[in-house]
Structure 1
Amino acid sequence: MIGLLSRVLTLPRWVHLIFGLIVLFLATFTLHKCAVSRAHDEGATFGATRQREANLTETVKNVEKANAAAETVVRDADAARAECLRNARNPANC
């Protein structure tokens, strides 16, 4: 082990410099890859949250429309009959 260490230490300075640059490049590449991956995950989570919020907003609007239509049918007998005729398989049952 000491023999290997003494051989490495006796190498020319340019070899040490190249080795250091390779290690620096690998560290930089790894950190960049991790940062990009983390940013992508956060962006995907944010996009999913916004989509879920938009879907829930649309659902609430649809429920409000349905409730208003149901209340109109309950209050208005003619509307109830028209709704029955529109949806019934056998209009004679209305």
Structure 2
Amino acid sequence: MTITLNVQNEQLFDKILWFLNHLKNDGLEILINRTKPKELASAFLNPIKVENSDFISRMTQNPRRISADTKFLSRDEANELSGFTTTD
């Protein structure tokens, strides 16, 4: 069984946690998530945009040119070369 409590008051939270800690010997497991529901929802609704990151700049500093003679393999040919087998 699971109980989820959303406690806005830090002082009340500490009192509830103190009480629940006394029940640990009876097999109670306490999982604390201090993320506020609004902050959690905001993280999903407003994802962080990564611009000009080191990764992006490293990837664009040394572009690789592809010659006109480059042969692109089909999926089956690439799998055969790599030893990877698929079943469709």
TM-score by length of 2: 0.19
Larger Rg: 1 or 2? 1
